[in-house]
Amino acid sequence: MLPTLIRRELLDNLMTFRFAAALFIMLLLVVANTAVLIKDYERRLADYNTAVKKHQQKLQERDIYSPGFAGVVLVRPPNPLSIFNVGLDKRLGSEIGIRPSGAPTLWEARMHGSANPLLNLLSSIALGFIFEVVLSLMALIFAYDALAGERERGTLRLVLTNAISRGHILLAKYISAMTCLLVPLIISLLFALILLTNSAAISLSADDFLRIGGIVLASIAYLSVFYLIGFLISAITHRTSTALMLAMFVWGFLVLVYPNMILATIKTSDVPQERAVSALNQMKQIWEQFDRERNRFLAADAFPGEDQLFNIKEPWGFGYDEYYENALTLFAEYDRQLNFQGIDEKYQPNVPHLQNYHRFLIPLTIRTADRVWLIRKEALVDTLVRQANFKRTLLKLSPAGIYDAATQAWTGTDLSGIRDFFDAARQYRKTVMTWFDDKDAFAAREWFLSDKREADWSTLPLFSFERRSVEINAKRALPDVLLLLMTSLVLFMGIFLLFVRSEV
């Protein structure tokens, strides 16, 4: 009996104007936007390549080792799947320098140059957003008259006079409508994939296809939730016009209004004060200890006086040693920058002392920075990250928010995905520091002074960033997808209970 019912419903749905309209609009929007998004991605890739080249060139030209305004700079590549959901990929910093005095985090990252930053004014719409808006609307349009319409026309009574269980009727309606809704989704996605694979700039790996599969899964779950919301409305109302009105307002509220309103009403305090202050104090204490240790060293060494620059005055270049703090991003570092092209002859005897000092100081800086990072990491998670995640959780009260989070997790443009890059950057910092250490670069003259010998960067290990494997994406995305499926299930049960008890 069930197959017959499904076939009836399917034919009913497929032959409608709304199905044709849904297919047409999805194709139009997805194809047009994919072309735009590919172009946008190519632009960003070009910007990325320019930045990488610039930094490589600058590094080769750099004749001292110590990192300052220039040095080893890592650039975050654009994510090709950002076409599906751009997430934070475009918005967060995309280049970060490697320093001994601190672990790189996204809060210190800068944005590499782009030809026209004003273009960000014109928001581009990712494919996930099209699905989010259009599919949910389509689902409601397919659902609002599913029961109310039959009740109005009286066909519901006719159907129920046969020996058919009510559950089967619901299931048949659900399955057939979902099939109909999937057709535009799948076809438009196929077109998008054809465009994507034809683009020279984008090369999708097998993992990427799995991720896209994950996005499809999330889309189906999302579709199902909205269909069932419409279905529920249809079950509780007696007239289609009421059902339609209610459905439209529910849609407007969940997709358009709620996400924007909830974030605006929730007050954003900058960093919970106490936690941040205590962490900053802890970090400051560690740096003070560092300062005491180095002063002890300076007092004990052979050179008279405790001057950080060993009395070298007016070098051709610059040198300073200062403590910086930023309470907003919990940043605390001793920044020591020396970059001398040459110094006066009479200071030459001081140079070996300075070298000797660096042999002690830089490893100490690195160790201290590592300890500071342990504190900062915790504090950042407790303050900034938790606050942001709380907002994301609030967004998840709307299915649109859950869907958005799920697709971001699949594409790897969510906060965790971006933080992966900075994890890799921190790993690479260790590599670079070990490389310095192996070369004995800290104690070298060319750590800060380039008059006799110049730094040799040729053997520096290269940095490459690989996105985390698809399992990690799945681990991050599946809770949200499951949440959508659970919501579907609950909605379906609710509809079933209502429908079984309802009088015709």
* Footprint on residues 403-422 left by other proteins (CB under 8 A): 415
Residues 462-491 that bind other proteins (CB under 8 A): none
CA distance linking residue 141 with residue 19, whole number of Å = 10
- Measured from the CB of residue 145, what is the shortest distance to other proteins in angstroms? 7
Stretch that binds other proteins, among 30-38, 199-207, 298-306, 488-496 (CB under 8 A): 30-38
- Measured from the CB of residue 415, what is the shortest distance to other proteins in angstroms? 6
| Tokens describing residue 42 | 């190519």
- 421-437 core/surface letters (b: 16 or more CB in 10 A; e: else): bbebbbebbeebbeebe
Question: Is 229 near other proteins (CB under 8 A)?
Answer: no
Q: Could you give phi then psi for residue 465, rounded to 5 degrees?
A: -110, 120
Question: Binder to other proteins among 4, 120, 165, 434 (CB under 8 A)?
Answer: 120
Stretch that binds other proteins, among 116-124, 171-179, 211-219, 490-498 (CB under 8 A): 116-124
Q: Residue by residue, what is the 3-state secondary structure of 436-466?
A: HHHHCCCCCHHHCECCCCCCCCCCCCCCCCC
Residues 186-205 that bind other proteins (CB under 8 A): none
Terminal Cα distance for the chain, rounded: 21
- Measured from the CB of residue 411, what is the shortest distance to other proteins in angstroms? 15
Strands 331-342 and 95-97: unpaired
Closest CA to 220 of 482, 495, 38, 490: 482
* Closer to other proteins by Cβ: residue 238 or 292: 238
Question: Binder to other proteins among 10, 45, 125, 216 (CB under 8 A)?
Answer: 125
- Residue 280 contacts by C-beta under 8 Å, 6 or more apart in sequence? 325, 327, 330, 332
Give residue for tokens 């400051």: 284
* Closer to other proteins by Cβ: residue 120 or 469: 120
Question: Binder to other proteins among 56, 179, 199, 242 (CB under 8 A)?
Answer: 242
CA distance linking residue 34 with residue 37, whole number of Å = 5
Question: Binder to other proteins among 11, 14, 36, 493 (CB under 8 A)?
Answer: 36
Question: Is 74 near other proteins (CB under 8 A)?
Answer: no
Question: Binder to other proteins among 259, 319, 399, 412 (CB under 8 A)?
Answer: 259
Per the CB < 8 A criterion, the answer to whether 81 and 52 are in contact is: no
* Closer to other proteins by Cβ: residue 270 or 456: 270
Question: Binder to other proteins among 246, 362, 444, 470 (CB under 8 A)?
Answer: 246
Per the CB < 8 A criterion, the answer to whether 96 and 104 are in contact is: yes
Question: Binder to other proteins among 162, 198, 268, 269 (CB under 8 A)?
Answer: 268
Question: Is 122 near other proteins (CB under 8 A)?
Answer: yes
For residue 146, CA distances in Å to 9, 239, 249, 399, 489 come to 10, 11, 18, 21, 18
Residues 294-333 that bind other proteins (CB under 8 A): 316, 328-329
Greatest extent of the chain over all pairs of C-alpha atoms, in Å: 108
Per the CB < 8 A criterion, the answer to whether 103 and 373 are in contact is: yes
- Measured from the CB of residue 358, what is the shortest distance to other proteins in angstroms? 25
Question: Binder to other proteins among 169, 235, 244, 309 (CB under 8 A)?
Answer: 244
Question: Binder to other proteins among 74, 75, 83, 92 (CB under 8 A)?
Answer: 92
Positive or negative CA dihedral for 260, 264, 265, 269?
positive
* Closer to other proteins by Cβ: residue 120 or 285: 120
Counts of helices then strands in the chain (DSSP H, E): 16, 4
- Measured from the CB of residue 164, what is the shortest distance to other proteins in angstroms? 26
- Measured from the CB of residue 401, what is the shortest distance to other proteins in angstroms? 8
* Closer to other proteins by Cβ: residue 219 or 240: 240
The strand pairing partners of 322, in sequence order, are: 335
Question: Binder to other proteins among 15, 154, 200, 267 (CB under 8 A)?
Answer: 267
| Tokens describing residue 321 | 């040693």
Question: Binder to other proteins among 395, 402, 441, 449 (CB under 8 A)?
Answer: 395
* Closer to other proteins by Cβ: residue 19 or 436: 19
- Measured from the CB of residue 496, what is the shortest distance to other proteins in angstroms? 26
CA distance linking residue 16 with residue 214, whole number of Å = 30
Stretch that binds other proteins, among 191-199, 260-268, 425-433, 495-503 (CB under 8 A): 260-268
Per the CB < 8 A criterion, the answer to whether 342 and 316 are in contact is: yes
Question: Is 343 near other proteins (CB under 8 A)?
Answer: no
- Measured from the CB of residue 442, what is the shortest distance to other proteins in angstroms? 28
Instruction: Look up residue 134 and give its amino acid.
Output: V
Residues 126-165 that bind other proteins (CB under 8 A): 130, 133-134, 137, 141, 145
Question: Is 93 near other proteins (CB under 8 A)?
Answer: yes
| Displacement of CA 189 from its chain's centroid (Å) | 22
CA distance linking residue 74 with residue 102, whole number of Å = 15
User: By CB under 8 A, how many residues form the interface with other proteins?
Assistant: 76
- Binding mask of the shown chain, residues 96 to 115, with x at each position contacting other proteins by CB under 8 A: ----------xx-xxx-xxx
- Measured from the CB of residue 337, what is the shortest distance to other proteins in angstroms? 17
Question: Binder to other proteins among 190, 194, 256, 504 (CB under 8 A)?
Answer: 256
- Measured from the CB of residue 131, what is the shortest distance to other proteins in angstroms? 12
| Tokens describing residue 351 | 């140079």
The strand pairing partners of 323, in sequence order, are: 334
